[in-house]
Amino acid sequence: MSDARAEAAAVARAARRLLERERALGGGELLAAGVAAALPAARASIGALQRHGAPAATAPQAPAFALTPAEPAVAPTPSVAPPPPLPPFADDLWPSALAGGRDALLDRSRPALEEIARQARACTACALSTTRTHAVPGTGSAASGIVFVGEAPGADEDARGEPFVGRAGALLTDMIAGMESRGLLPGVPLTRETVYICNVLKCRPPENRNPLPHEIESCSPFVMRQLEALQPRVICCLGKFAAELLLGLKGTVTSMRGRTYRWRGAKLVVTYHPAYCLRSPSAKRPVWDDLQRMAQEYLTD
């Protein structure tokens, strides 16, 4: 009986490991459905073995469930209104916004951004407010019409109250400088001052752990209001948490990058977080590809 239970448990563990790997690669949704549907039968089989004992001298049995993806349900295609048109370009390729151009928009957005920052610094909506040194609202101007949205502040950001100022921030600075030096957007100066940089969370999670769902829910209105005030032409999501929030999707960066999305009139691209590039330098090549995609989309109405 113990051998049969061990075999069944080993099969279940192997299935879970396979599912986790598939999810990490962005292709495990169908597999997850199949495994989830079959797990109750597996548990029932193990329970029966525990109650009645395993049959003696039986031949090896097939797994209690097969790793076969369930047939995906066919959902009706919703009727989606076309996205609003992007702001047109001025002669010098700086994107115009509204009637008075982007400069006028920035003048109007500045008081809103200052008020959002004030409220973020005073926020006590979740427990992160009790462990932070400083809240980290955002920095820059979005004069270029570009906004980078990351995950959450780290230790350096928490200490200074500014986003992306540690090692990952230095790499983001290099990324922006690389776009400028290669002339990806002719006539559009690209620096940390001409883009806007912010995070989904405005306070550092302890030990730089991943944001929790209720923390994202509490903090997300800040970044939504920042984007609404700035009305960017292009948004670059750095990592899965920013992408999942703004796109309303679940997945890995690998599964979401390589295409262009819309967010309330802006174009949106997804790429790896600079911190991931520090751990996995091979990711720098696809990040550069994504930045070139972002530039191409910026220059195309």
* Residue type present at position 267: K
Averaged pLDDT in 10-residue chunks for the chain of 301 residues: 64 60 42 45 50 46 36 49 58 56 83 95 96 97 95 97 96 96 93 97 96 96 95 96 96 95 93 96 96 94 77
CB contact at 8 A, 179 and 185 = yes
Q: Where are the alpha helices (DSSP H) in 182-283?
A: 213-230, 240-247, 253-256, 274-279
- Nearest 5 degrees, angle CA 117-CA 249-CA 112? 20
Determine the length of the chain.
Answer: 301
Which CATH fold topology does 101-298 show? Uracil-DNA Glycosylase, subunit E (3.40.470)
* 218 closest CA partner among 185, 183, 245, 250: 245
pLDDT attached to residue 9: 67
What are the angstrom distances between the C-alpha of 82 and each of 76, 102, 191, 195, 300?
18, 24, 33, 27, 17
pLDDT attached to residue 12: 66
Tokens 């996205």 identify what position? 83
pLDDT attached to residue 301: 77
pLDDT attached to residue 174: 96
What are the angstrom distances between the C-alpha of 58 and each of 3, 9, 49, 54, 61?
12, 18, 13, 9, 8
Q: Report the alpha-carbon distance of residue 61 to residue 157 in Å, rounded.
A: 56
pTM (predicted TM-score): 0.71
pLDDT attached to residue 108: 86
CB contact at 8 A, 267 and 260 = yes
**Where in the chain are the domains?**
2-52, 101-298
pLDDT attached to residue 264: 87
Strands (E), the chain: 138-140, 146-150, 196-199, 234-238, 261-263, 266-271
Q: Report the alpha-carbon distance of residue 132 to residue 153 in Å, rounded.
A: 10
What are the angstrom distances between the C-alpha of 141 and each of 186, 187, 195?
19, 17, 6
Q: Report the alpha-carbon distance of residue 31 to residue 24 in Å, rounded.
A: 12
